[in-house]
Amino acid sequence: MKVFWFLPTHGDSRYLGTAEGARQVDHDYLKQIAQAADHLGYEGVLIPTGRSCEDPWVVASSLIAVTRKLKFLVAVRPGLHQPSLAARMAASFDRLSGGRLLVNLVTGGDQVELEGDGVFLDHAERYRQSSEFIRIWREILARSHDGRSFDYEGEHLGVRGAKLMFPPVQQPHPPVYFGGSSEAAHELAAQQAETYLTWGEPPDQVARKVADVRLRAARHGREVQFGIRLHVIVRETEDAAWQAAEALIGRLDDATVLRAQEAFARMDSEGQRRMAALHGNGRRRTRADLEISPNLWAGVGLVRGGAGTALVGSPQTVAARIEEYASLGLDKFILSGYPHLEEAYRFAELVFPLLPARASEQLPGRVLSGPFGEVVANSYEPRPSRA
Protein backbone atom coordinates (compact mmCIF):
# COMPACT_ATOMS: atom_id res chain seq x y z
CA MET A 1 0.00 0.00 0.00
CA LYS A 2 1.35 3.40 -1.00
CA VAL A 3 -0.17 6.56 0.47
CA PHE A 4 0.19 9.90 -1.32
CA TRP A 5 -0.68 13.44 -0.31
CA PHE A 6 -1.72 16.49 -2.38
CA LEU A 7 -0.26 19.93 -3.15
CA PRO A 8 -3.13 22.48 -3.24
CA THR A 9 -1.82 24.71 -6.03
CA HIS A 10 -5.38 25.93 -6.67
CA GLY A 11 -5.82 27.18 -3.09
CA ASP A 12 -6.28 25.99 0.48
CA SER A 13 -8.73 26.86 3.22
CA ARG A 14 -10.49 25.81 6.39
CA TYR A 15 -13.91 26.39 4.82
CA LEU A 16 -14.92 25.44 1.29
CA GLY A 17 -16.42 28.01 -1.05
CA THR A 18 -15.39 31.10 0.90
CA ALA A 19 -12.33 33.25 1.49
CA GLU A 20 -12.86 32.95 5.23
CA GLY A 21 -10.10 30.85 6.73
CA ALA A 22 -8.25 30.81 3.41
CA ARG A 23 -4.50 31.07 3.22
CA GLN A 24 -2.05 32.32 0.64
CA VAL A 25 -0.64 29.48 -1.43
CA ASP A 26 2.86 30.61 -2.29
CA HIS A 27 6.12 28.73 -2.69
CA ASP A 28 6.91 28.82 1.02
CA TYR A 29 3.58 27.18 1.85
CA LEU A 30 3.86 24.54 -0.88
CA LYS A 31 7.38 23.81 0.34
CA GLN A 32 6.07 23.29 3.87
CA ILE A 33 3.50 20.77 2.65
CA ALA A 34 5.97 18.93 0.42
CA GLN A 35 8.58 18.71 3.17
CA ALA A 36 5.97 17.57 5.68
CA ALA A 37 4.82 14.82 3.30
CA ASP A 38 8.43 13.82 2.67
CA HIS A 39 9.26 13.72 6.38
CA LEU A 40 6.08 11.90 7.36
CA GLY A 41 6.66 9.08 4.91
CA TYR A 42 4.07 9.70 2.21
CA GLU A 43 5.03 8.03 -1.06
CA GLY A 44 4.54 11.19 -3.09
CA VAL A 45 2.30 14.14 -3.85
CA LEU A 46 -0.23 14.72 -6.60
CA ILE A 47 -0.04 18.16 -8.19
CA PRO A 48 -3.30 19.26 -9.86
CA THR A 49 -3.51 20.81 -13.32
CA GLY A 50 -5.78 23.32 -15.02
CA ARG A 51 -6.25 27.03 -15.40
CA SER A 52 -7.13 27.37 -11.71
CA CYS A 53 -3.74 25.94 -10.70
CA GLU A 54 -0.12 26.96 -10.75
CA ASP A 55 1.78 25.07 -13.46
CA PRO A 56 2.52 21.59 -12.06
CA TRP A 57 5.90 21.13 -13.78
CA VAL A 58 7.25 24.44 -12.52
CA VAL A 59 5.99 23.74 -9.00
CA ALA A 60 7.35 20.19 -8.93
CA SER A 61 10.74 21.27 -10.27
CA SER A 62 11.01 23.93 -7.59
CA LEU A 63 10.57 21.27 -4.88
CA ILE A 64 13.16 18.70 -6.00
CA ALA A 65 15.99 20.22 -4.00
CA VAL A 66 13.99 20.67 -0.78
CA THR A 67 12.76 17.05 -0.59
CA ARG A 68 14.61 13.73 -0.39
CA LYS A 69 12.41 10.73 -1.21
CA LEU A 70 9.09 12.31 -2.15
CA LYS A 71 7.76 11.43 -5.60
CA PHE A 72 5.86 13.89 -7.75
CA LEU A 73 2.77 12.89 -9.74
CA VAL A 74 2.78 15.53 -12.48
CA ALA A 75 0.31 16.00 -15.34
CA VAL A 76 0.92 15.83 -19.07
CA ARG A 77 -1.85 17.35 -21.17
CA PRO A 78 -2.46 16.15 -24.76
CA GLY A 79 -3.33 19.15 -26.88
CA LEU A 80 -1.32 21.48 -24.66
CA HIS A 81 1.96 19.54 -24.71
CA GLN A 82 3.54 17.89 -27.70
CA PRO A 83 4.59 14.32 -26.85
CA SER A 84 8.25 14.83 -27.80
CA LEU A 85 8.58 17.89 -25.59
CA ALA A 86 6.71 16.14 -22.79
CA ALA A 87 9.13 13.22 -23.08
CA ARG A 88 12.14 15.54 -22.75
CA MET A 89 10.57 17.26 -19.76
CA ALA A 90 9.90 13.91 -18.11
CA ALA A 91 13.41 12.60 -18.73
CA SER A 92 15.02 15.78 -17.39
CA PHE A 93 12.85 15.82 -14.28
CA ASP A 94 13.41 12.13 -13.65
CA ARG A 95 17.20 12.51 -13.86
CA LEU A 96 17.37 15.68 -11.78
CA SER A 97 15.15 14.18 -9.08
CA GLY A 98 16.88 10.81 -9.00
CA GLY A 99 13.93 8.87 -10.39
CA ARG A 100 11.14 10.53 -8.45
CA LEU A 101 8.74 11.31 -11.31
CA LEU A 102 5.29 9.81 -11.83
CA VAL A 103 3.23 10.98 -14.80
CA ASN A 104 -0.50 11.74 -14.68
CA LEU A 105 -2.11 11.64 -18.13
CA VAL A 106 -4.96 14.19 -18.11
CA THR A 107 -7.35 14.30 -21.05
CA GLY A 108 -9.59 17.00 -19.54
CA GLY A 109 -13.34 17.32 -19.30
CA ASP A 110 -14.12 21.05 -19.10
CA GLN A 111 -14.89 22.17 -22.64
CA VAL A 112 -14.78 25.87 -21.74
CA GLU A 113 -11.31 25.53 -20.21
CA LEU A 114 -10.09 23.33 -23.06
CA GLU A 115 -11.20 25.80 -25.71
CA GLY A 116 -9.44 28.54 -23.77
CA ASP A 117 -6.31 26.44 -24.11
CA GLY A 118 -6.86 25.96 -27.84
CA VAL A 119 -8.28 22.41 -27.70
CA PHE A 120 -11.49 22.10 -29.74
CA LEU A 121 -11.90 18.31 -29.91
CA ASP A 122 -14.99 16.54 -28.62
CA HIS A 123 -14.88 13.86 -25.91
CA ALA A 124 -14.23 10.91 -28.23
CA GLU A 125 -11.59 12.75 -30.25
CA ARG A 126 -9.77 13.85 -27.10
CA TYR A 127 -9.41 10.26 -25.97
CA ARG A 128 -8.09 9.19 -29.36
CA GLN A 129 -5.61 12.06 -29.22
CA SER A 130 -4.62 11.08 -25.67
CA SER A 131 -4.03 7.50 -26.77
CA GLU A 132 -1.75 8.63 -29.59
CA PHE A 133 0.01 11.10 -27.29
CA ILE A 134 0.93 8.62 -24.57
CA ARG A 135 1.91 5.95 -27.10
CA ILE A 136 4.42 8.35 -28.69
CA TRP A 137 5.60 9.56 -25.28
CA ARG A 138 6.19 6.03 -24.00
CA GLU A 139 8.05 4.92 -27.11
CA ILE A 140 10.35 7.93 -27.22
CA LEU A 141 11.36 7.41 -23.59
CA ALA A 142 11.69 3.64 -23.87
CA ARG A 143 13.88 3.86 -26.97
CA SER A 144 16.12 6.52 -25.41
CA HIS A 145 17.89 3.86 -23.33
CA ASP A 146 19.51 2.40 -26.45
CA GLY A 147 19.46 5.49 -28.70
CA ARG A 148 16.73 4.42 -31.11
CA SER A 149 14.39 6.84 -32.88
CA PHE A 150 10.63 6.49 -33.38
CA ASP A 151 8.22 7.16 -36.25
CA TYR A 152 4.47 7.39 -35.86
CA GLU A 153 1.61 8.74 -37.95
CA GLY A 154 -1.81 8.96 -36.28
CA GLU A 155 -5.14 10.70 -36.66
CA HIS A 156 -4.13 13.64 -34.48
CA LEU A 157 -0.40 13.32 -33.83
CA GLY A 158 2.71 12.15 -35.62
CA VAL A 159 6.48 12.16 -35.29
CA ARG A 160 9.30 11.26 -37.67
CA GLY A 161 12.70 10.32 -36.30
CA ALA A 162 11.78 11.34 -32.76
CA LYS A 163 14.75 10.75 -30.49
CA LEU A 164 15.73 11.50 -26.92
CA MET A 165 19.43 11.93 -26.16
CA PHE A 166 19.21 11.80 -22.36
CA PRO A 167 17.13 8.90 -21.02
CA PRO A 168 15.18 8.93 -17.76
CA VAL A 169 16.41 7.11 -14.65
CA GLN A 170 13.35 4.85 -14.53
CA GLN A 171 13.09 2.20 -17.20
CA PRO A 172 11.50 2.01 -19.63
CA HIS A 173 9.86 5.31 -18.57
CA PRO A 174 8.32 6.92 -15.47
CA PRO A 175 5.07 5.13 -14.57
CA VAL A 176 1.88 6.48 -16.13
CA TYR A 177 -1.23 7.11 -14.03
CA PHE A 178 -4.58 7.71 -15.68
CA GLY A 179 -8.13 8.22 -14.45
CA GLY A 180 -11.51 8.35 -16.14
CA SER A 181 -14.93 6.78 -15.88
CA SER A 182 -16.04 6.51 -19.51
CA GLU A 183 -15.61 3.39 -21.63
CA ALA A 184 -12.96 5.20 -23.66
CA ALA A 185 -11.06 6.03 -20.47
CA HIS A 186 -11.16 2.44 -19.26
CA GLU A 187 -9.85 1.21 -22.59
CA LEU A 188 -7.04 3.76 -22.65
CA ALA A 189 -6.01 2.83 -19.11
CA ALA A 190 -6.08 -0.86 -19.98
CA GLN A 191 -3.82 -0.35 -22.99
CA GLN A 192 -1.30 2.21 -21.79
CA ALA A 193 -1.39 3.10 -18.08
CA GLU A 194 0.55 1.46 -15.28
CA THR A 195 -2.00 2.62 -12.69
CA TYR A 196 -5.70 3.33 -13.15
CA LEU A 197 -7.10 5.95 -10.75
CA THR A 198 -10.72 6.34 -9.70
CA TRP A 199 -12.32 9.09 -7.69
CA GLY A 200 -13.86 8.07 -4.38
CA GLU A 201 -17.07 6.30 -5.26
CA PRO A 202 -18.79 3.70 -3.03
CA PRO A 203 -16.89 0.39 -2.88
CA ASP A 204 -19.36 -1.54 -5.04
CA GLN A 205 -19.02 1.01 -7.84
CA VAL A 206 -15.24 1.03 -7.53
CA ALA A 207 -15.21 -2.77 -7.67
CA ARG A 208 -17.05 -2.71 -11.00
CA LYS A 209 -14.55 -0.23 -12.41
CA VAL A 210 -11.59 -2.30 -11.27
CA ALA A 211 -13.07 -5.46 -12.77
CA ASP A 212 -13.75 -3.78 -16.10
CA VAL A 213 -10.28 -2.24 -16.46
CA ARG A 214 -8.60 -5.46 -15.32
CA LEU A 215 -10.52 -7.50 -17.91
CA ARG A 216 -9.72 -5.03 -20.68
CA ALA A 217 -6.04 -5.04 -19.73
CA ALA A 218 -5.95 -8.85 -19.80
CA ARG A 219 -7.28 -8.77 -23.36
CA HIS A 220 -4.20 -6.73 -24.27
CA GLY A 221 -1.86 -9.05 -22.39
CA ARG A 222 -1.25 -6.47 -19.67
CA GLU A 223 -1.71 -6.02 -15.92
CA VAL A 224 -2.73 -2.69 -14.41
CA GLN A 225 -2.45 -1.46 -10.84
CA PHE A 226 -5.23 0.54 -9.20
CA GLY A 227 -5.51 3.60 -7.02
CA ILE A 228 -8.12 5.96 -5.60
CA ARG A 229 -8.26 9.71 -5.04
CA LEU A 230 -10.00 10.73 -1.80
CA HIS A 231 -10.18 13.48 0.77
CA VAL A 232 -9.93 12.51 4.43
CA ILE A 233 -11.43 14.04 7.56
CA VAL A 234 -10.06 12.06 10.49
CA ARG A 235 -10.36 13.02 14.15
CA GLU A 236 -9.86 11.12 17.39
CA THR A 237 -13.59 10.35 17.64
CA GLU A 238 -16.41 9.78 15.15
CA ASP A 239 -18.37 12.76 16.45
CA ALA A 240 -15.41 15.11 16.14
CA ALA A 241 -14.79 13.97 12.56
CA TRP A 242 -18.38 14.58 11.49
CA GLN A 243 -18.38 17.96 13.21
CA ALA A 244 -15.28 18.85 11.20
CA ALA A 245 -17.00 17.74 7.99
CA GLU A 246 -20.00 19.94 8.75
CA ALA A 247 -17.71 22.85 9.57
CA LEU A 248 -15.88 22.47 6.26
CA ILE A 249 -19.05 23.35 4.34
CA GLY A 250 -20.55 25.45 7.12
CA ARG A 251 -19.84 28.78 5.42
CA LEU A 252 -21.33 27.76 2.05
CA ASP A 253 -24.34 29.63 0.69
CA ASP A 254 -26.87 28.38 -1.84
CA ALA A 255 -25.72 30.77 -4.56
CA THR A 256 -22.15 29.47 -4.44
CA VAL A 257 -23.29 25.85 -4.67
CA LEU A 258 -25.60 26.70 -7.57
CA ARG A 259 -22.84 28.45 -9.52
CA ALA A 260 -20.47 25.55 -8.98
CA GLN A 261 -23.01 22.94 -10.05
CA GLU A 262 -23.94 24.91 -13.17
CA ALA A 263 -20.27 24.95 -14.17
CA PHE A 264 -19.87 21.21 -13.53
CA ALA A 265 -23.02 20.45 -15.55
CA ARG A 266 -21.42 22.01 -18.66
CA MET A 267 -18.54 19.54 -18.56
CA ASP A 268 -18.51 16.40 -20.70
CA SER A 269 -16.58 14.37 -18.10
CA GLU A 270 -18.27 11.11 -17.13
CA GLY A 271 -16.32 11.12 -13.88
CA GLN A 272 -17.59 14.60 -12.99
CA ARG A 273 -21.14 13.54 -13.84
CA ARG A 274 -20.82 10.58 -11.46
CA MET A 275 -19.40 12.79 -8.71
CA ALA A 276 -22.29 15.27 -9.07
CA ALA A 277 -24.84 12.47 -8.96
CA LEU A 278 -23.56 11.42 -5.53
CA HIS A 279 -24.87 14.64 -3.97
CA GLY A 280 -27.84 15.10 -6.28
CA ASN A 281 -26.18 17.93 -8.22
CA GLY A 282 -25.97 20.01 -5.07
CA ARG A 283 -29.49 19.32 -3.78
CA ARG A 284 -28.37 17.08 -0.89
CA ARG A 285 -27.00 19.10 1.98
CA THR A 286 -27.54 17.12 5.20
CA ARG A 287 -25.23 14.47 6.61
CA ALA A 288 -27.90 11.81 6.08
CA ASP A 289 -28.03 12.66 2.37
CA LEU A 290 -24.31 13.24 1.84
CA GLU A 291 -23.08 10.06 3.54
CA ILE A 292 -23.46 7.99 0.38
CA SER A 293 -21.76 4.89 1.80
CA PRO A 294 -20.58 4.21 5.36
CA ASN A 295 -18.17 7.04 6.23
CA LEU A 296 -17.96 8.19 2.57
CA TRP A 297 -19.16 11.80 2.43
CA ALA A 298 -19.96 13.74 -0.75
CA GLY A 299 -19.94 17.23 0.77
CA VAL A 300 -16.65 18.31 -0.79
CA GLY A 301 -18.14 17.94 -4.28
CA LEU A 302 -20.75 20.61 -3.63
CA VAL A 303 -18.26 23.22 -4.79
CA ARG A 304 -15.09 21.34 -5.72
CA GLY A 305 -14.63 19.83 -9.15
CA GLY A 306 -12.96 16.48 -9.62
CA ALA A 307 -12.52 14.42 -6.46
CA GLY A 308 -15.54 15.30 -4.35
CA THR A 309 -15.76 12.69 -1.60
CA ALA A 310 -14.06 12.24 1.75
CA LEU A 311 -13.59 9.43 4.24
CA VAL A 312 -14.88 10.74 7.56
CA GLY A 313 -14.38 9.12 10.94
CA SER A 314 -12.08 8.07 13.73
CA PRO A 315 -8.61 6.68 12.95
CA GLN A 316 -9.86 3.12 13.32
CA THR A 317 -12.84 3.74 11.05
CA VAL A 318 -10.87 5.50 8.34
CA ALA A 319 -8.20 2.77 8.40
CA ALA A 320 -10.92 0.13 8.07
CA ARG A 321 -12.45 1.90 5.05
CA ILE A 322 -9.04 2.14 3.41
CA GLU A 323 -8.54 -1.58 3.98
CA GLU A 324 -11.96 -2.17 2.42
CA TYR A 325 -10.85 -0.40 -0.76
CA ALA A 326 -7.53 -2.23 -0.63
CA SER A 327 -9.38 -5.54 -0.61
CA LEU A 328 -10.82 -4.60 -4.01
CA GLY A 329 -7.31 -4.50 -5.47
CA LEU A 330 -6.36 -0.85 -4.86
CA ASP A 331 -2.86 -0.19 -3.57
CA LYS A 332 -2.39 3.55 -4.27
CA PHE A 333 -4.26 6.02 -2.05
CA ILE A 334 -3.97 9.68 -3.04
CA LEU A 335 -5.36 11.70 -0.16
CA SER A 336 -5.89 15.31 0.84
CA GLY A 337 -7.53 17.33 3.60
CA TYR A 338 -8.22 20.90 4.61
CA PRO A 339 -5.97 22.66 5.41
CA HIS A 340 -3.42 20.44 3.71
CA LEU A 341 -0.45 21.12 5.95
CA GLU A 342 -2.17 20.29 9.24
CA GLU A 343 -4.13 17.39 7.77
CA ALA A 344 -0.97 15.78 6.39
CA TYR A 345 0.30 15.54 9.96
CA ARG A 346 -3.05 14.54 11.41
CA PHE A 347 -3.56 11.62 9.01
CA ALA A 348 0.02 10.39 9.41
CA GLU A 349 -0.10 10.53 13.19
CA LEU A 350 -3.56 9.01 13.61
CA VAL A 351 -3.92 6.56 10.72
CA PHE A 352 -0.45 5.51 9.55
CA PRO A 353 0.12 3.30 12.63
CA LEU A 354 -3.10 1.41 11.80
CA LEU A 355 -2.22 0.67 8.17
CA PRO A 356 -0.08 -2.22 6.86
CA ALA A 357 3.60 -2.06 7.76
CA ARG A 358 4.67 -0.50 4.45
CA ALA A 359 2.91 2.72 5.42
CA SER A 360 3.23 2.76 9.20
CA GLU A 361 6.94 2.02 9.42
CA GLN A 362 7.67 5.32 7.66
CA LEU A 363 6.33 7.33 10.60
CA PRO A 364 8.86 9.85 11.98
CA GLY A 365 10.63 8.68 15.10
CA ARG A 366 10.60 4.99 14.13
CA VAL A 367 14.08 5.23 12.64
CA LEU A 368 15.52 8.01 14.81
CA SER A 369 17.41 7.80 18.06
CA GLY A 370 15.88 9.38 21.13
CA PRO A 371 12.27 9.52 22.36
CA PHE A 372 9.19 9.63 20.17
CA GLY A 373 7.32 12.54 21.77
CA GLU A 374 8.20 15.04 24.47
CA VAL A 375 10.34 13.82 27.37
CA VAL A 376 8.34 13.59 30.59
CA ALA A 377 9.63 15.56 33.60
CA ASN A 378 13.10 15.87 32.04
CA SER A 379 13.70 12.20 32.80
CA TYR A 380 11.31 9.71 31.20
CA GLU A 381 10.66 8.74 27.63
CA PRO A 382 6.95 8.88 26.73
CA ARG A 383 5.15 5.60 26.12
CA PRO A 384 2.21 4.89 23.81
CA SER A 385 -1.14 5.21 25.55
CA ARG A 386 -3.33 2.14 25.80
CA ALA A 387 -6.08 4.02 23.95
Start-to-end CA span in the chain (Å)? 25
Mean pLDDT of the chain: 91
pLDDT tens profile 229-282: 999 999 999 999 999 999 999 998 989 988 988 888 888 888 888 888 888 887
Backbone angles phi, psi at 101, to 5 degrees: -100, 135
pLDDT at 376: 67
Mean pLDDT of the 73-85 span: 95
The proportion of the chain whose per-residue pLDDT surpasses 90, expressed as a percent, equals 75
Query: Per-residue pLDDT for 25 more than 90?
Result: yes
Q: What is the dihedral of CA 189, 196, 43, 360, to 10 degrees?
A: -150
Confidence of residue 367 (pLDDT cuts 50, 70, 90): very low
The region of weakest confidence among 215-219, 303-307, 321-325, 345-349 is 303-307
71 close to 3: Cβ distance less than 8 angstroms: no
3-state SS track over the chain: CEEEEECCCCCECCCCCCCCCCECCCHHHHHHHHHHHHHHCCCEEECCCCCCCCCHHHHHHHHCCCCCCCEEEEEECECCECHHHHHHHHHHHHHHHCCCEEEEECCCCCHHHHHHCCCCCCHHHHHHHHHHHHHHHHHHHHHCCCCCCEEEECCCCEEEEECCCCCCCCCCCCCEEEECCCHHHHHHHHHHCCEEEEECCCHHHHHHHHHHHHHHHHHCCCCCEEEEEEEEEECCCHHHHHHHHHHHCCCCCHHHHHHHHHHHHCCCCHHHHHHHHHCHHHCCCCHHHHEEECCEECHHHHCCCCCCCEEEECHHHHHHHHHHHHCCCEEEEEEECCCHHHHHHHHHHHCHHHCCHHHHCCCCCCCCCCCCCCCECCCECCCCCCC
| All structural domains of the chain | 2-76+175-231+313-360 (3.20.20.30)
- The predicted pLDDT at position 368 comes to 41
315-365: per-residue pLDDT in tens? 999 999 999 999 999 999 999 999 999 999 999 999 999 998 655 455 544
Is the pLDDT at 155 greater than 80? The verdict is yes
Asked if the model's pLDDT at residue 370 lies above 60, the reply is: no
Cβ atoms 296, 321 nearer than 8 A:
yes
* Proportion of the chain above pLDDT 70, given as a percent: 92
